């Protein structure tokens, strides 16, 4: 989505005039003072006109002062409209849905989605839209979340784990689930997203507040200076006019950063949203730029959470290839990520490349279902089943058979390593175990390395045993890890780092992560996680990708850098405007001050008007930079400071000299004053 479309520009221009309302503008003290100055100048110019005095300079100064206010309003309005445009696209995902609500006696009734309340249970099956936020209590389903996250790949949602959270507006592709609604109407995740985006302009961070205090202080200082100037000028026999005095005030005030400050914060929130991250707190966005330590949960955060087949363990007396072939055939009808991973690994073990496996003649597939917990195939001479220990045990019990001791021992060993065993049975005989291993998410090692370059320490926290934790930590490239951690342990670790003066970011997805997320300075919950985790966090990653933390930190730093850079630029501008206006005021009485007229401007009136025009035009010129932000680079803080001081400090001094001179030449050429 681009903001530079005619409909958005038109809407921003309209809002620029609406924001001229003093009841709205007073929240930005700098621009409020400019508006008051514009009003006074306009009134004085009208009096000049009525009394037959020269009004040309006053008229033009008034016009450009009003333009200054409008340009500042335009910057803020454009940032707000950018967010509102995204809100409209999100609102388009909401439909008038019906829900199959399950009554206490087990019967279902069709009700509007808006009638659902916290605690209601609903049934959702193949092809249906999930009507509200909640947690899966029964069943397993493949869910398309692209309407919310933008990610086209469907995800598994199932009961009894950290992958049970579902979001209203997403679609069940296969499977059937029972969902317990966790929010009331108007409190859904999508509602909160839309509300956050639309109300982003109300978000003020501590840093922005502190900078606002500085700008107000500077404004008051210059008001005092300009208010006392006529008395000193009169004592020296110099006549000053209201348009020139107000021009001096507006040019010396930090109007550039004052006009762009609201847009910088709003645009930062929107850039997060463009990365599919919802920030519930402006404070958290700012804190992200100063994070020194990040804690990451393992399952579903560092790892996929979808277990992948890694090894076939045959039973005593069973050939490995026989186990692999049976596992392959029994998994062809299993559409879960685990089932697909078994097929991939089996084809690799058997040396099958790029070919589909044909169904044996006279056979019938038994698709995987959450109810049975198994998949398989029935052939003429044998029946093969693959599933969890519990499911296969129940299956064999119906056949008057049982899982032998060696297989149970092998399954226990897999479980003790923090992994998941599946059992393969052929008729009444168990022929082996499949090891399912949680896989580290692609690219996380490189992204954690980038965090390390930024000076941020990464710590993995997991409830797994130390052996499993160490293996995952080494593969993911975290700096440290904590194994066999309980929820209170995670909380204690965060408090320890915070007491040491660190700003801590926590990334998690489970209910057990909620206390730690609530304690962390920056708390990022995976959208695929539980409702409790999402409620405890101050940011939600819609893609459930922990590598997104790097983007969050970069945007946080960019907001801080952009504010600092444009503040430096704004204050540096005053130097050139000082050299333009002061000689114009005093050089006629004190010729020695002509030495300050280093730009050799055409006339005092032209000098004043040129400075005012530059002061107005520089605001819209910097709008793209304010919306985009100053790019963060992986380097030292001192280098960044030197670089930005050179560009925005020295540039802020030199640029106005050149531009004001060009404007002066144009004003003189056109004979405007």
Q: Give me the helix-helix angle, 651-670 and 604-628, nearest 10°.
A: 130
> How far is CA 649 from each of CA 55, 135, 575, 603, 632, rounded to the nearest angstrom?
36, 53, 11, 28, 17
CB 97 within 8 A of CB 281: no
Q: Give me the helix-helix angle, 651-670 and 548-586, nearest 10°.
A: 50
- How far is the C-alpha of 483 from the C-alpha of 147, rounded, in Å? 36
- How far is the C-alpha of 619 from the C-alpha of 597, rounded, in Å? 25
> Strands 134-144 and 165-166: what pairing?
antiparallel
Q: Which residues 6+ apart lie within 8 Å of 392 measured at CB?
A: 374, 385, 386, 403, 423, 425, 430
| Phi and psi, residue 610, nearest 5° | -65, -40
CB 243 within 8 A of CB 62: yes
- How far is the C-alpha of 145 from the C-alpha of 541, rounded, in Å? 13
Q: Is residue 600 left, alpha or beta, with left meaning phi > 0 and alpha meaning psi from -120 to 50?
A: left
Q: Look at the chain and count its residues.
A: 673
CB 172 within 8 A of CB 128: yes
CB 281 within 8 A of CB 538: yes
- CB neighbours of residue 480 within 10 Å: 12
- How far is the C-alpha of 618 from the C-alpha of 258, rounded, in Å? 12
Of the candidates 505, 519, 492, 523, which has an alpha carbon nearest to the alpha carbon of residue 457?
505
- How far is the C-alpha of 633 from the C-alpha of 609, rounded, in Å? 39
- How far is the C-alpha of 493 from the C-alpha of 461, rounded, in Å? 9
CB 122 within 8 A of CB 131: yes
Q: Which helix (H) or strand (E) holds 506?
A: strand 504-508
- How far is the C-alpha of 439 from the C-alpha of 300, rounded, in Å? 10
3-state secondary structure of 504: strand
CB 482 within 8 A of CB 466: no
Q: Residue 175, class by beta-carbon neighbours within 10 Å (0-12 exposed, 13-18 middle, 19+ buried)?
A: buried
CA 16 to chain centre: 27
- CB neighbours of residue 54 within 10 Å: 12
Q: DSSP assignment, residue 128?
A: P
What is the DSSP track for 151-175? Answer: --S-EEEESSSTT-EE-TT-EEEEE
CB 98 within 8 A of CB 110: yes
The catalytic residue positions are 297
């Amino acid at each position: 989505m681009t903001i530079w479309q005619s409909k958005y520009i038109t809407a921003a221009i309209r809002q620029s005039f609406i924001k001229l309302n003093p009841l709205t503008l007073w929240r930005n003290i700098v621009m409020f003072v400019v508006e008051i100055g514009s009003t006074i100048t306009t009134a004085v110019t009208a009096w000049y006109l009525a009394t037959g005095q020269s009004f040309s300079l006053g008229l033009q100064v008034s016009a450009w002062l009003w333009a200054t206010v409008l340009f500042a309003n335009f910057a803020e309005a454009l940032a707000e409209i950018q967010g509102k445009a995204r809100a409209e696209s999100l609102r388009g995902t909401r439909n008038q849905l019906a829900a199959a609500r399950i009554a206490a006696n087990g019967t279902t009734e069709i009700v509007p989605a808006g009638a659902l309340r916290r605690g209601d249970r609903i049934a959702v099956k193949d092809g249906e839209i999930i009507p509200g936020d909640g947690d899966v209590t029964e069943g397993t389903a493949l869910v398309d979340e692209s309407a919310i996250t933008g990610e086209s790949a469907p995800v598994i949602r199932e009961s009894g784990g950290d992958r049970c959270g579902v979001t209203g507006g997403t679609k069940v592709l296969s499977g059937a689930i029972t969902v317990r609604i966790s929010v009331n109407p108007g409190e859904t995740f999508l509602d909160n997203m839309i509300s956050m985006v639309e109300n982003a302009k109300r978000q003020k961070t501590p840093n922005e507040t502190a900078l606002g205090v500085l700008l107000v202080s500077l404004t008051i200082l210059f008001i005092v200076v300009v208010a006392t100037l006529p008395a000193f000028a009169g004592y020296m026999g110099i006549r000053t006019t209201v348009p020139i005095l107000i021009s001096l005030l507006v040019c010396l005030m930090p109007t550039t950063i004052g006009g762009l400050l609201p847009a910088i914060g709003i645009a930062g929130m929107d850039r997060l949203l463009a990365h599919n991250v919802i920030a519930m707190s402006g404070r958290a966005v700012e804190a992200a730029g100063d994070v020194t330590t990040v804690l990451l949960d393992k399952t579903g955060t560092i790892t996929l959470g979808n277990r992948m087949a890694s090894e076939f363990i045959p039973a005593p007396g069973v050939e490995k290839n026989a186990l692999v072939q049976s596992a392959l055939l029994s998994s062809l009808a299993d559409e879960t990520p685990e089932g697909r991973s078994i097929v991939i690994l089996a084809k690799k073990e058997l040396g099958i490349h790029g070919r589909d496996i044909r169904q044996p003649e006279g056979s019938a597939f038994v698709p995987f279902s959450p109810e049975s917990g198994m998949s398989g195939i029935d052939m003429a001479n044998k029946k093969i089943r693959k599933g969890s220990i519990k499911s296969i045990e129940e299956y064999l019990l119906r056949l008057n058979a049982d899982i032998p001791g060696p297989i149970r021992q092998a399954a226990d060993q897999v479980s003790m390593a923090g992994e998941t065993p599946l059992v393969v049975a052929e008729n009444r005989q168990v022929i082996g175990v499949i090891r399912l291993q949680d896989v580290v998410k692609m690219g996380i090692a490189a992204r954690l390395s980038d965090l390390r370059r930024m000076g941020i320490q990464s710590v993995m926290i997991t409830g797994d045993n130390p052996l499993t934790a160490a293996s995952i930590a080494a593969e993911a490239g975290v700096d440290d890890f904590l194994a066999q951690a309980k929820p209170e342990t995670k909380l204690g670790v965060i408090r320890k780092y915070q007491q040491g003066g660190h700003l801590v970011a926590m990334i998690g997805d489970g209910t057990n992560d909620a206390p730690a997320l609530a304690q962390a300075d920056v708390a990022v919950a995976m959208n695929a996680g539980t409702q409790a985790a999402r409620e405890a966090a101050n940011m939600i990653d819609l893609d459930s990708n922990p590598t997104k933390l790097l983007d969050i930190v970069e945007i946080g730093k960019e907001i801080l850098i952009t504010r600092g850079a444009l503040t430096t630029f704004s204050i540096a501008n005053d130097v050139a405007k000082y050299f333009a206006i002061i000689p114009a005021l005093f050089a006629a009485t004190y010729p020695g001050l002509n030495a300050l007229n280093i730009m050799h401007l055409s006339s005092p009136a032209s000098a004043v008007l040129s400075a005012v025009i530059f002061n107005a035009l520089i605001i819209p010129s910097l709008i793209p930079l304010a919306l985009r932000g100053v790019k963060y680079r992986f380097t030292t803080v001192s280098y960044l400071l030197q670089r930005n001081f050179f560009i925005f400090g020295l540039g802020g001094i030199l640029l106005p000299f050149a531009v004001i001179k060009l404007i002066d030449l144009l004003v003189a050429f056109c004979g405007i004053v």
